[in-house]
Structure 1
């Protein structure tokens, strides 16, 4: 966007995450470099189910958070994860030194306060004649994600919590970018959080017939595997600090190399069922085409794609068909973190964005070998533009485009 003669960019000033990959940028990068998998086993209804919980170090950070303020103990785990990731993003952006600057927040979740809701509902069924505690309603609403992050950071800008199933985090990017480009804010925190490792949520995923039957120590989540469904639930959160900046403003704070948000495309298709998807991935195609059009880029300009590919036969195949339609004459590299941390639902797009940004910054990542059609990949492969896909129940999809900008 332009204001006067100076072009403005939507810059990623900072990011933070907690997941099975780790609780600090250093631990996350080490997990990516080593290919470490986060899967373990959770007993569920008489069977052992593979899941991807927080890393032990990230779990320690969460425990420390709960000790800081007794009120935080009454919040859902999804809120805790969002707070931890947001603190990292804010610190990396260096915004704490400017408290007078309003910061908008849009952090979504597919399921919201899953753990608390299940606990309160179970208590209600057992004690239906008793009055519920007054904190039940405010602590289980989706809106408490952004509001408690604002409380923790002492932010004063607009607050948005939303759910668009597994496209949630990328649609948070779309909202943040729209506010910034409209001039309604200068800084925004965007991202997604999910804590779905609960009995009822696992049962829901198993009822669809997509849950992996492989053991936790046997690579249970296998994106693009067409022999069987290998969906595995994971938990985590990732948050990004977006700022509207000109090149002189970047230079003034010493930013010689920075990742910018080029575009966020959205797509929708009339789903054949509540969980269905068209074989050609029409919603993926729409989202990718829209992102390319917004950024005025051609498919050949995109060096890599972070796949949505959660390990479901139909969904993975549809995404690859959509990519084939868009990128028929070129061969982007492919990345995926699902084989390491499973599918984190509403947080998955944010964690994929973190992976994309790491790739743009030259961090040591491994391309997804069974997906990529490139023959020239190497350990030092560095794309200059990268696309991130996400899709969710109901026929919605989102696609974010990121680019490495060198200002000097």
Structure 2
């Protein structure tokens, strides 16, 4: 990383209360010391799981916000107490959040009330959108830079950290507020219970007698700034490098030999020019399940041989905090390096090779690794250095150009050259997708997964000889994720008291990205981004950064959403503007890469991509668009056509009308592909049959995030 991201403050709220220091000290306690029975937490009635022991968060102020935000804001207040962002321009501060389920608890309660006959519970469903986590933080602190949420199950906040560091390294941000938060909920407790993964007592990571996980809650925050802005601020730690991969093996189970994690650790070490012997601590994912811990140990042995560093898991202290576990690990690992004492793996007795730390261990080391694993075979590893002591020079930036080699789509409109027929909703028949795959084989995939797989197959069919494998990433965007499967699971629990294991495993936002990786053997970086109407641009940004940075050579980038209960709820709460298109199932996918990523000639080249908070003045938006074009050596007169995903109402609608008038008219993608959070994914696809030329797309979200994408059709 060319501009090294420096940690200047942290905040944490979890089972030990509010305070990063308190959490670090609590990590030295006995296994399960902070756990309580779920039935005594007063969160929700779930009699079958009442005796399950959990690490419920405490020490935060109650408010009308969702519990996830309440916990996160307690951590945020701690992280911002000493004004670490003072003097940094607001439009140069990004917010990057990681969460597995976001405000699902409040959505569960609202759904229960609706099923019981209430008509006044719709509002809580807005918190189902994982993007609300980042948006709430950005609003609270006034950040106006990039704002996106990563939802890759238990590795979510680790990918948020990586994205923030890359944004600083590339110069897209000068500072970043990185968040991770998840709470207990019916879907997580009953979901993991349906998979028989909950411990009957207190978890014992890596122990021979381990029998499962204890779920926990946490909100964690790290404030990062570029080193040149450090000034008089104290540097707690620096991020040296990351390694992120995908097993492409199974929807929930890790590769039994830990091959994906092995690759992630190796990539992290290589990217940071770190020798294995320089690592003084490995903060493990260590859930206490048989499959996870065995895979993690196999990866450690493969990378380090007989010289594995001291390691431990924090899950026996705080429980498995799901999407927050990555940032919790990073905060405690940084504290351990600063304090010089490593926390033990509480509850461990015997059975692991190599064995974890079983008592506090002093260290003079300067580098720690923090690992996270998630559903879908998602693996992430971060290298953290004490203070400013990072011993290695950062790798140079890559100037690789990014090309589009193939495009594909799955839409309720069979002919995208013609407008979608006028109706309120347009749904795909999921059974018609992937027609060559036997029904019994494809029934494991829900509708949205089939849409992503079908669109991705179309993109790869157009990209002859696409180079995939360990250097290929998958970056998928979705505003609402696997909403139908979430609804199916919750209704079965609420109405029948019968959790559905398959609906649970398919409920995570990264279910499509992991399915794509598994089908096509993409074992590089894998993520699911969500950022309302600019979700696709956020996903494209992530893939572009990995390819430009050299950790990947190619990738599948896709955006899709389905017309479901949650989309209909949005329509009820938000009056649609005049001329709005039909809510529709749709997905578009692209195979992109550096030069030579496949045998086919490229169809297009990505020239510019900017994401930031929009100005309230339409004239300012015009000026910024012209500046972005100028950076690519272009002017508005060079653009053959302008696209815009969806019409908006009110002031935002007036901004779109002004820009449309200034730039010669917008073509609205909702007219052809339908209206949903991922409509912006269709812009490049819509341009490919029009001959060579420059095309631009201006996307404006309902929360005032603006994205401008510019590409050349070749």
TM-score (norm 1): 0.85
Q: Which moved more, 1:95-104 or 1:185-194?
A: 95-104
Structure 1 pair 30–95 and aligned structure 2 pair: CA distance change class (3 A): same
**DSSP 3-state at the match of 1:361:** helix
**What CA distance in whole angstroms lies between the structure 2 residues aligned with 1:18 and 1:376?**
25
2:673 aligns with none
Residue of structure 2 aligned with 1:40, choices 16, 33, 36: 36
Match of 1:9 in 2: 4
Of the three residues 271, 277, 300, the one matched with 2:249 is: 271
In structure 2, C-alpha distance between the alignment counterparts of 1:40 and 1:19, rounded to whole Å = 13
Whether the 8 Å contact between 2:280 and 2:363 is mirrored in structure 1 is no
1:7-406 residue pairs with structure 2 within 5 A? 8-35=3-30, 37-43=33-39, 44-46=46-48, 47-55=50-58, 58=59, 61-63=60-62, 66=63, 73=64, 75-92=65-82, 94-96=84-86, 100=90, 102-127=92-117, 131-133=119-121, 135-196=123-184, 198-214=185-201, 220-246=202-228, 250=230, 252-253=231-232, 255=234, 258-272=236-250, 274-362=251-339, 364-368=341-345, 373=355, 379-406=361-388
The answer as to whether partners of 2:95 and 2:147 remain within 8 angstroms in 1 is yes
Partner of 1:5: none
Alpha-carbon distance between aligned partners in 1 of 2:312 and 2:165, rounded to the nearest angstrom: 24
What's the CA shift for 1:91? 2.6
26 and 147 in structure 1: CA distance in 2 versus 1, 3 angstrom threshold: same
Q: CA deviation at 1:245?
A: 1.2
Q: CA deviation at 1:177?
A: 1.0
Deviates more, 1:363-372 or 1:21-30: 363-372
User: 1:203 deviation in Å?
Assistant: 0.9
Q: Which has the higher contact order (CA 8 A, sep 6+)?
A: 1
Q: Report the CA distance shift for 1:84/1:326 in structure 2 as closer, same or farther (over 3 A).
A: same
Contact 1:170–1:191 (Cα < 8 Å) also in 2:
no
Ranges in structure 2 where 5+ consecutive residues have no aligned partner: 40-45, 391-714
Q: Is the 8 A contact 2:79 2:221 kept in 1?
A: yes
1:362-394, Cα deviation, whole Å (9 max, x unpaired): 254433376665899974323210001101111
Distance 1:307 1:374 in 2: 10
| 1:19–1:236 contact (8 Å) kept in structure 2 | yes
Distance 1:254 1:314, change over 3 A: closer
Per the alignment, in what secondary structure is the counterpart of residue 193 of structure 2?
helix
For the 8 Å contact 1:19–1:235, the answer to whether it is kept is: yes
Moved more, 19-28 or 112-121: 19-28
Q: CA deviation at 1:112?
A: 1.3
Distance across 1 between alignment mates of 2:384 and 2:69: 27
Distance 2:357 2:224 in 1: 35
In the TM superposition, residue 133 of structure 1 has moved relative to its aligned partner by: 4.5
Query: 1:108-129 CA distances to partner (integer Å, 9 max, x unpaired)?
Result: 20111121111011112111xx
Give the count of matched residue pairs: 377
| Equivalent residues of 1:19, 1:53 under 8 A apart | yes
SS at match of 2:370: strand
Residue 69 (structure 1) aligns with: none
Counterpart Cα distance in 2 of 1:120 and 1:378: 45
Once residues 261 and 375 of structure 1 are traced to their aligned partners in structure 2, the CA distance between those partners, rounded to angstroms, is 24
Give structure 1 stretches of 5+ with no counterpart: 3-7, 67-72, 215-219
Aligned-residue CA RMSD (Å): 2.5
Q: Specify whether residues 62 and 382 from structure 1 end up closer, same or farther in structure 2 by C-alpha distance, changes over 3 A only.
A: farther
CA distance 1:28–1:121, change in 2 (3 Å): same
Aligned partner of residue 253 in structure 2, secondary structure: coil
User: 1: distance between equivalents of 2:308 and 2:322?
Assistant: 28
Partner deviation per Cα, 1:126-149 (whole Å, 9 max, x = no partner): 11xx54545234232111101111
Please give the alpha-carbon distance, in whole angstroms, between the structure 2 residues aligned to 1:164 and 1:230: 21
Q: Does the 8 Å contact 1:85/1:239 carry over to 2?
A: yes
User: Following the alignment from structure 2 to structure 1, what is the Cα–Cα distance between the partners of residues 324 and 220?
Assistant: 7
Equivalents in 1 of 2:315, 2:173: separation in Å?
33
Whether the 8 Å contact between 1:333 and 1:367 is mirrored in structure 2 is no
Q: After TM superposition, give the deviation of residue 311 of structure 1 in Å.
A: 0.8
Deviation at 1:92, TM superposition (A): 4.4
Residue 81 of structure 1 and its aligned partner are, at CA, apart by 1.8
Deviations 1:192-219 (A, max 9, x none): 10002x23321111110111112xxxxx
- Given that residues 167 and 390 in structure 1 are in contact (C-alpha distance below 8 angstroms), is that contact kept between their aligned partners in structure 2? yes
Change (3 A) 1:326 1:124: same
Structure 1 residues 143-169: Cα deviation after superposition (integer angstroms, max 9, x where no partner): 110111112222222211120111101
Distance 1:204 1:94, change over 3 A: same
Rg comparison, structure with higher value:
2
